[in-house]
Amino acid sequence: MNRPSGAEVCAIPSDPVVLIHGLWMPALAMVPLARFTGYAGHATRIFEYRGRASFEANRARLAAYLRAQPGPVSVVAHSLGGVLALAALNGEPDLRVTAAVFLGSPVRGSLSGRRLAAWRAGRWLLGSAAEAWWNVREGAIWRHPAPLGVISGTAAWGLGRLLGPFTAANDGVVAAHETAVDGARDTVSVRATHSGLLFSPAVARHVVRFLGRGSFREG
């Protein structure tokens, strides 16, 4: 992943960025995005959790982690990490978060997750996070005062396609409409797979732009 252009580099170092990985993903998966945001002037920290552990325990740990930061931070979260962040920040709107970006996060539930949970082995793989991953939610609402940006992928290749067909735009695991959050400041779609969202230069540029401007739009 290339360094950001001069227009994308912060003239003054901005709030540190806390990056949150997704289900089955190691914390190391966030390193490329952490490097890119670091080049743009942000200090970076990666919050690590056990994806198969209790969703509520992980939510509480994330809230405590954010509360313990010495100053305001931004949040960039992938997949289940975004579902965790939504719950943590909605539950504690006084947490000092100045911006958030979700990448392919199934905040409205996941058809792929429901298909996987239909199998005993799939339920084991999902672990205690299963319900949070696949459970259908009629609406996802952003209640924290910080601006939220939502990025979805449209390169339809991945585990989800092996479990059955999609009838809507998707990243191979999560459909674009499953990432929609009422109250988000801005949304954008990128030609990337679910995991590829973490390694896409276009996604990284969108993240840096939103953290600096509260919008994915250029100019």
Give the model's pLDDT for residue 47.
97
123 found inside a domain: yes
Quick check: pTM over 0.85?
yes
219 found inside a domain: no
209 found inside a domain: yes
Q: Provide the β-strand partners of residue 17.
A: 44, 74
**CA-CA distance, 175 to 93, in Å (whole number)?**
28
Q: Provide the β-strand partners of residue 150.
A: 102, 187
pLDDT in tens, 43-56: 999 999 987 778 89
Tell me the residue range of the domain where 196 lies: 6-213
Lowest mean pLDDT segment, chosen from 29-43, 48-62, 95-109, 154-168: 154-168
C-beta separation of 47 from 18 below 8 A: yes
109 found inside a domain: yes
1 found inside a domain: no
Residue with tokens 């919008």: 215
pLDDT in tens, 12-22: 447 899 999 99
For 3-27, b where at least 16 C-beta lie within 10 A, e where not — what string? ebeeebebeeebbbbbbbbbbbbee
Q: Provide the β-strand partners of residue 102.
A: 77, 150
Looking at residue 160, which CATH number applies to its domain? 3.40.50.1820
Length of the chain: 219
Radius of gyration for the alpha carbons in the chain, expressed in angstroms and rounded: 16
Number of domains in the chain: 1
218 found inside a domain: no
112 found inside a domain: yes
Lowest mean pLDDT segment, chosen from 35-39, 49-53, 116-120, 162-166: 162-166
pLDDT in tens, 135-170: 655 569 999 999 999 999 998 775 545 555 566 788
